[in-house]
Structure 1
């Protein structure tokens, strides 16, 4: 196996056990020892970046509203927790709902959590496209990173997207912030490898790496580090170790950290 121990990045927080993108999920990931946090961001109608994956709120907040058409104050009234634990009222050991932990999470609040934490934590931020706001998402993100002093090369933040155009835009807005070109289909790498920046990271999905055994080597041979999503099993982790993957994005950070600890500090 490869000798590099990958960074363990919590996918939408510790989202296997907790409602995704809630502060509760992120604090659980930090408590577990996650070295990085991953989030998706969208713009609200009144211009706030919030950590929400889907364009609408049906799955995670029982609402037909679109994030892009809803003000932050109205999002704050919604319950982003109960969908994950629908039987919590019947479970004596279930944690009590907490508005601070279980409501919509702004990116600013997540950045503040990372900034205040007692060890370095990195943050992988995915901008979602297509969106009605187009490039405004990256502009607002760059502005926010600038306020934290995180718009430069030593930033704990990296920006990811499936949109090559969005990453080009981010490169202009915040030079030095690492960029991750997400790859959904193995066949798209043939085109992407000709255009992605020489120092860009590449982020294929674990399913594509599994189904196309040569893909990971092709990306590495082109000189790019690999950050892989979403790695949740021992077999998937082993494949990443064989490929020398630098970061694994997982719903189960505590489990992957335990597996890596069992393999020793070098994960070899």
Structure 2
């Protein structure tokens, strides 16, 4: 049996390789993930780069904010701090990631716009244009903690698929999602057991993709529940459970 749940590599296969790197994305693909989840920010000179933190010191040998560097300046840093055994890891462009996998016809892209801290002016239209230029709009899901941002994408193109990211604090999530006609919600995994949240969302026909789940027993439980997607740092474990191949849970 194969579960219907999709497995997304969280920032690629970030348990094993530098997060949000081309190496991590390729590894997630090779491990059998259905897609990858990754983050987009914008440089001082307007380039769309794939990186999670607004401040780069956790993942690189540099310091300071992404927004204060040009792309060429960021390329001078090594983005291998989470996995120093890897060498010559450069920050990728959104264009790079989509180009690498655009010919993989069933491979999915879950793009998080990281603009809930800094409002990157014009980022939404730039991201949308790149996705369209690469011909992968139908395989792309846009998400953000800044909900207004993904709603603006829907206004730009009614064919966009959008999702609200959230962790705590939202009330009446199914009604909220229906009100704004989003395709999916992306809750932290631990929220699904509260107030029958998952079943209320399913009844409302809202897709549910949960983050970030690395425990095998929990991945199996969520697959059994029928969540639409699981975002995990361990896409090898996730894909093994998805395919029901007797994964060792840990």
Q: Give the alignment's TM-score, normalised by structure 1.
A: 0.84
- Specify the alignment match of 2:148 in structure 1: 165
Q: Which digits, 9 at most, give the CA deviation of each residue in 1:209-255, with x for residues without a partner?
A: 25x26221222222211111112112221331233111111100011
- Specify the alignment match of 2:42 in structure 1: 43
| CA drift at 1:120 | 2.1
101, 125, 132: which one aligns with 1:139: 125
Matched, 1:197 2:213: no
- Structure 2, gaps ≥5 residues long: none
Matched, 1:176 2:176: no
* Alpha-carbon contact 1:19-1:25 (below 8 Å) kept: yes
113, 117, 140: which one aligns with 1:127: 113
Q: Distance in 2 between matches of 1:148 and 1:189?
A: 37
Q: Give the alignment's TM-score, normalised by structure 2.
A: 0.89
100, 123, 134: which one aligns with 1:113: 100
Aligned-residue CA RMSD in angstroms?
2.2
Alignment of 1:1-268 (within 5 A): 4-81=3-80, 83-86=81-84, 88=85, 97=87, 99=88, 102-117=89-104, 119-151=105-137, 155-185=138-168, 187-190=169-172, 193-194=175-176, 196-210=179-193, 212=194, 214-262=196-244
Q: Which has the greater radius of gyration?
A: 1
Q: Which digits, 9 at most, give the CA deviation of each residue in 1:184-223, with x for residues without a partner?
A: 11x404267335433521111112225x262212222222
Q: Distance in 2 between matches of 1:52 and 1:169?
A: 22
| CA drift at 1:263 | 5.5
Q: Distance in 1 between matches of 2:245 and 2:111?
A: 29
| CA drift at 1:13 | 0.3
Q: Distance in 2 between matches of 1:198 and 1:19?
A: 35
